[in-house]
Amino acid sequence: MTTSARLPDAAPANWVDRHAPAALRPWLKLGRFDRPAGIWLLMLPGWQGIALACAMAGRWPDAILLAKFFVGAALMRAAGCAFNDIVDRDIDAQVARTAARPVASGQISVKQAWAFLIGCSLVSFLILLTLGPLAIGLGVASCALVAAYPFMKRITWWPQAWLGLTFNWGALLGFAAAMGELAPPALLLYLGGLFWTLGYDTIYAIQDLEDDALVGVKSSTRRLGAHVQRGVAVFYGLSLAFALAAGLTAGLSVFFLPLFALYAAHLVMQARRVRVDEPAQALFLFKSNAWAGLILFVAIAAGAFTA
C-alpha cells in the first residue's frame, strides 16, 4: 500500500484526511491524530487529578498546568501508538480495522516509526521536567506500563485492565504536579479510572472480535463473550464507586454531586446500549467517553466551591 487511506475507526470528516498535506498524513495517522478521542482519554485523568488536588485546596485548576498535560498527553499518546504499531505490525496486517495503519501497510518503516516515537517522547520529557520531583518520578515510572502494554494481549485475557493502569496514571501524575504529594483521594480516583478504561476499552474491542479470534489476540471482550454487557456494567459500577469515594474523601462540596450524577447517567447509558453484534454502536459509545471524562473533570473542579 502506497497511499494513506482513511482508517476504519477515523471519522469520515477527520481533519487529517481532509486538510493535512498528503506527505504528512501517514505520520499524523501513526500518532492517531486523525482519531483524537484517545488524546482526551489519556489527558482527562490528568486533568481530573489536577482538579482534585486544587479542589482540596479550594481553588480552580491552574490553566497553564492543564495546557501542559494536554500537550504532553497528545505527544505521549502518539509515542505510545507508534510503539504499539511497531510491536503489533504483523498482527495489524491481518486485522481488517488495522491493516491500513502506516507501519503495517508499509507507508512508514520501523526505523522511521522509532524516530517518531523518540521525538515525541523527548518533547514530552521536557514538559515533565517542569512539574516537580514527585511528578517527574511518576512520569518516568509510567514508561514501564507503556512499554509492557502491547504484549499484554498475547499473555492475558485482560489487556484492557493493563491499559487502565497505563491511561489513568495521569490521575496520580496530575495530583502530584498540583499538590507536590499523593493522598488517598488520588489513589481512589486512579482506581476509578482503571475500571472506567476497562469498561470503555472492552466496548472498543467489540469491533475486532472476529479478527482477534482468528489471529489469537486476547481481550476482555472475548473472555466475557455473551456477558459483555454485564461485564461493562460491573466495571462502570466499580468506576463510579471509586470516583465517588475520591470526591467524598477529598471533602468536595455539594456542587460535585449533581455533575457526578450526570457522569453516572452517562456510564449507565453506555452499559445499557452496548451490544456485541453492533460494532458501529460500540465505536460510537467508546468515543462518547471523552464527554464522560470531561463531565467528571468539571464535577471535581466544581467541588472546590462552597455555597
Contact between 219 and 159 under an 8 Å Cβ cutoff? The reply is yes
Residue 261 has pLDDT above 90, yes or no: yes
Contact between 175 and 52 under an 8 Å Cβ cutoff? The reply is yes
Residue 10 pLDDT grade (very low, low, confident, very high; cuts 50, 70, 90): low
What are 36-59's pLDDT values in tens digits? Answer: 889 999 999 999 999 999 999 999
CA dist 297 and 47 (Å) reads: 7
- pTM > 0.85: yes or no: yes
Q: Rounded to 5 degrees, what angle do the CA atoms 11, 76, 235 make? A: 70
What are 80-138's pLDDT values in tens digits? Answer: 999 989 998 888 888 877 888 899 989 999 999 999 999 999 999 999 999 999 999 99
CA dist 88 and 93 (Å) reads: 9
CB neighbour burial string for 66-81, b if at least 16 within 10 angstroms, e if fewer: bebbbebbbbbbbbbb
* Averaged pLDDT score across all residues of the chain: 92
* Overall average pLDDT of the 282-298 stretch: 96
* Overall average pLDDT of the 271-281 stretch: 94
Distance, C-alpha 65 to centroid of its chain: 19
Residue 4 pLDDT grade (very low, low, confident, very high; cuts 50, 70, 90): low
CA dist 257 and 241 (Å) reads: 13
Q: Rounded to 5 degrees, what angle do the CA atoms 165, 121, 145 make? A: 20
Cα distances (Å, whole numbers) of residue 221 to 92, 103, 109, 201, 287: 18, 26, 31, 9, 17
**pLDDT at residue 1 in the model:** 41
CB neighbour burial string for 31-56, b if at least 16 within 10 angstroms, e if fewer: bbbbbbbbbbbbbbbbbbbbbbbbbb
Residue 2 pLDDT grade (very low, low, confident, very high; cuts 50, 70, 90): very low
Distance, C-alpha 267 to centroid of its chain: 16
Q: Closest Cα to residue 49, out of 129, 199, 167?
A: 167
Q: Closest Cα to residue 91, out of 222, 6, 216?
A: 216
**pLDDT at residue 215 in the model:** 81
Residue 3 has pLDDT above 60, yes or no: no
CA dist 60 and 178 (Å) reads: 11
Contact between 201 and 160 under an 8 Å Cβ cutoff? The reply is yes
Beta carbons within 8 Å of 297's beta carbon, 6+ residues apart: 44, 47, 48, 51
CATH architecture of 23-302: Orthogonal Bundle (1.10)
Domain boundaries, given as residue ranges, for the chain: 23-302
Dihedral sign for Cα atoms in the order 238, 244, 249, 250: positive
What are 150-195's pLDDT values in tens digits? Answer: 899 889 999 999 999 999 999 999 999 999 999 999 999 999 999 9
